[in-house]
Amino acid sequence: MDSFDRRILSELQINSNRPIIDIAAAVNLSLSACHRRIKNLEESGVIMSYAARLDKKKLGLEMDVFVEISLISQSQEALESFEKAVVTYNEILECHLTTGNADYIIRVAAKEVTDFDRIHRNCLAKLPHVSSMRSTFTLRSIKPWTGYPVN
């Protein structure tokens, strides 16, 4: 991967819906060279897929909640059972196995506190092998995620 590929990736993370000719102009490549590079990045798996970034507030989602979860055991069965259950809930936006005090960190988005209560009761509380949960509500996002650094 060279500097042209990195610049293409940066441009695509800003807006992958732009015409390739606009991306080519932004990175100073011909249309065909830019198209070929994008195809190579897709085929090599660097670009996994394309998706739309949605405005959570316009969807009525006012709060992000990070939930630290500790399991009763770190046995293979407990980890696998927990992870299998997590992927079945659409309310869980992300789940990461972590080091430190918690075994996992989960991110959910909620409309309001009562909606988070619903998510807690109908989703988080049903996850297997959980010994404790600690929720942190974000007050506002200072630097939202917009993509990976590719420089």
**pTM for the full predicted model:** 0.86
Q: Closest by alpha carbon to 48, among 12, 93, 88, 81?
A: 12
Q: How far apart are CA 38 and CA 10, in angstroms?
A: 12
Look up the CATH number of the domain holding residue 11: 1.10.10.10
- The reply to whether 39 falls in a domain is yes
**For residue 59, what is the DSSP state?**
G
Specify the pLDDT at position 97. Answer: 97
Is residue 81 within 8 Å of residue 129, measured between CB atoms?
yes
Specify the pLDDT at position 145. Answer: 87
Specify the pLDDT at position 93. Answer: 97
Specify the pLDDT at position 151. Answer: 78
- The reply to whether 147 falls in a domain is no
From first to last of its 151 residues, the chain has per-residue pLDDT tens of: 999 999 999 999 999 999 999 999 999 999 999 999 999 999 999 999 999 999 999 999 999 999 999 999 999 999 999 999 999 999 999 999 999 999 999 999 999 999 999 999 999 999 999 999 999 999 999 998 889 999 7
Pair (23, 71) in one structural domain:
no
Specify the pLDDT at position 143. Answer: 92
- The reply to whether 149 falls in a domain is no
Give the pair of three-digit tokens for residue 68.
């630290």
Domain span holding position 64: 57-137
CB atoms within 10 A of CB 129: 19
Specify the pLDDT at position 109. Answer: 96
3 three-class SS: helix
Pair (67, 130) in one structural domain:
yes
